[in-house]
Amino acid sequence: MLNQSERKNKRRFIALAIVAFLVFLDQITKEIAVSQLLGKDGVDIIPNFLQLLYVENTGTAFSLLRGQMIFFYIVTVIASVAIIVCMEKLPNNKKFNISYYLLSVLLAGAIGNFIDRVLHQYVVDFIYFSLINFPVFNVADIYVTVSVVIIMLLFIFYYSDEELTEVFGKKD
């Protein structure tokens, strides 16, 4: 049977493995997108619905704040530190494990896009829902969006106010 410290270290190791694997997966998909899509028109996966389309995004979601790389560097580092602090504040028990690992997924998304910004000064986006003309996005964006939505749902519907107050402090 593992003691508290060993359980905490095991959870950290699993989180680190999740982050490493997901960042690797994100970077591989972006490399494939560059090698297969750069300089080409989009590739229909499901006609009139889902397309692969190479885009160099110098902004954030919906191409907002284009070219503000220093801003993105600072915000990503601050957000990553905040995510890690939140992870460390979460109790090491089964009820909070899902949020802990979802924060790992969120961190992987932030790191995946940060790598692009540092290496290329843009983020490689390539997934496009043409049916609704949704902005082109990438795998790291999926990590961020899905993890944030699920964490919000957990905080609204799964955790009690008392549990959240105990973890994050008193509400004003």
Task: Indicate if 172 belongs to the active site.
Answer: no
Catalytic residue (choose from 116, 141, 161, 172): 141
Catalytic residue (choose from 26, 44, 125, 172): 125
Asked if residues 138 and 26 have their Cβ atoms less than 8 Å apart, the reply is yes
Asked if residues 78 and 107 have their Cβ atoms less than 8 Å apart, the reply is no
Q: How far is CA 60 from the centre of its chain?
A: 13
Buried/exposed code over 143-170 (b: 16+ C-beta within 10 A; e: otherwise): bbeebeebbeeeeeeebeeeeeeeeeee
Task: Indicate if 161 belongs to the active site.
Answer: no
Torsion angle of the four alpha carbons 103, 157, 152, 164, in this order, in degrees rounded to the nearest 10: -60
Provide the total of helices (H) and of strands (E) in the chain, helices listed first. 5, 3
123-129 sheet: strands from edge to edge = 43-46, 50-57, 123-129
Residues designated as active site:
125, 141
